[in-house]
Amino acid sequence: MVSKKVQSIKPSGVRAIFDMAKEDSINLGLGELDFRPPQKVIEACKKALDADSYRYGPTMGIPELRSKIAKKISKYNQEISAANVMITASGTQGALATFQTLFEEGDEVLIPDPGFVIYSPECTLSGAKPVPYIMDEALNIDVEVLKERISPQTKGIVVNSPANPCGSVLSEEAFRTIGDLAEDYDLWIISDEVYENFIYEGQHHSFNEYLDHAVVLNSFSKCFAVAGWRMGYLSAPESIMNEISKMQYHILACPPGPFQYALCEAFESQEAFIEEIFPILKKRRDLTTDLLNEIPGFSCPRPKGAFYAFPEYELALPSAEFAVQLANQGVLCSPGTAFGDAGEGHLRISYAASEENIEKGIAIIADFVKSQR
């Protein structure tokens, strides 16, 4: 027998396409940077493996790393300390521990549609009901739609900026409005900020500023290009940190030791690494959107952040089928419906790939579209 909760959630539509990859497939599907991590973090990991880092560690993570993170994010809120920070085994695991801690049967949680694939399933697994709020035509949060979705059962709002899959960046006006809503209605904000370092237009507004009503999720996967290490962190009020930590213990006991020590030693190198790769990603963004907009029937606004384009297309083909057909042609991209019902008629294209692969992959998409007309 399998639990009804698990039966009710679907496998990831992103992973389903990734699993179709052939040896020579061009991968524009996964949000995994193609850069090698900084040498300093690689050397630090080797050093950690030779040291006494293979034992159980604290459930909330090693104090040194938590302190460095607290110092970094205190620019948003000077009252933040290491007591507000917990190391997690990825942003995804941090989200799971948070949802399990804050929500239960009968609760409703507002989630973006389109929005990242984990939000709805992790809400369901907590027993709560995910309630989608539709993004506007420019793929930004429409705060009026958000307000309309609030009910007496609403206990949380999930926000993701810069957004996956849309590439949108939260405006200051929307940021303030959401913060005010959380305070007025006594709601939790679950803010996914893993792409905070990748904003090409606008600026990042962090809900660490509203930490009395927020849990902020983050990750080392992007800022150090170590997605396979599955290392992240979250910040939260001290009043609930022990409860999230209790849930974390029952999920994994403690975060992996060697990677924590490596990230702690190389922590300050992330800024230089991001400065190095940022202009490359911005150039890839421009190339990707320009090429997609040249395809007849495609419309792709230039994303302001993250490293995804989310073009809309006119082809009479469901996005899931479209993505399968493209995978058979040798290019992987994600169907829009992997991110919610409002994603139908869209594809997510990751430009975390080389310019060569971007050009080759989008050429395959263009040829396929031409063959369907």
pLDDT tens digits for 126-185? 999 999 999 988 889 999 999 999 999 999 999 999 999 999 999 999 999 999 999 999
For the chain, residues classed under CATH 3.90.1150.10 are: 4-37+271-366
- Please say whether the beta carbons of 194 and 227 come within 8 A: no
Residues of the chain with CATH 3.40.640.10: 55-268
Residue 34 has pLDDT above 80, yes or no: yes
Query: For position 4, what pLDDT does the model report?
Result: 83
pLDDT recorded at residue 8: 84
pLDDT for 271:
94
Across the range 288-308, mean pLDDT stands at: 97
Percent of the chain having pLDDT more than 90?
89
Residue 123 has what pLDDT?
95
Residue pLDDT, tens place only, 83-140: 999 999 999 999 999 999 999 999 999 999 999 999 999 999 999 999 999 998 888 9
Q: What is the pLDDT of residue 27?
A: 93
Where do the DSSP E strands lie in the chain?
26-27, 85-88, 108-113, 129-134, 154-160, 188-192, 214-219, 232-235, 298-299, 308-309, 312-313, 331-332, 334-335, 347-350
Give yes or no for a contact between 372 and 315, defined as CB atoms under 8 angstroms apart.
yes
pLDDT tens per residue, range 52-66 = 788 899 999 999 999
Residue 73 has pLDDT above 70, yes or no: yes
Quote the pLDDT of residue 23.
79
Look up the pTM and report it.
0.95
Q: Residue 236, Cα to own-chain centre: how many angstroms?
A: 18
Region 183-202: mean pLDDT is: 97
pLDDT bucket at 9, cuts 50 / 70 / 90: confident
| pLDDT recorded at residue 31 | 86
Give me the pLDDT at residue 15, please.
67
Name the strand (E) or helix (H) holding 362.
Answer: helix 355-371
Sheet containing 334-335: give its strands across: 308-309, 347-350, 334-335
Higher pLDDT, 20 or 320: 320
Q: Mean per-residue pLDDT for 299-322?
A: 96
Domain 55-268: which topology?
Aspartate Aminotransferase; domain 2 (3.40.640)
What average pLDDT is seen over the chain? 95
Q: Is the per-residue pLDDT at 189 higher than 80?
A: yes
Is pLDDT larger for residue 276 or for residue 18? 276
**How many helices (H) and strands (E) are present in the chain, helices listed first?**
13, 14
Fold of 4-37+271-366: Aspartate Aminotransferase, domain 1 (3.90.1150)
* Angle value at C-alpha 102, between 163 and 204, nearest 5 degrees: 25
Please check the confidence at residue 20 and state whether its pLDDT lies above 80. Answer: no
Task: Check residue 289 and give its pLDDT.
Answer: 98
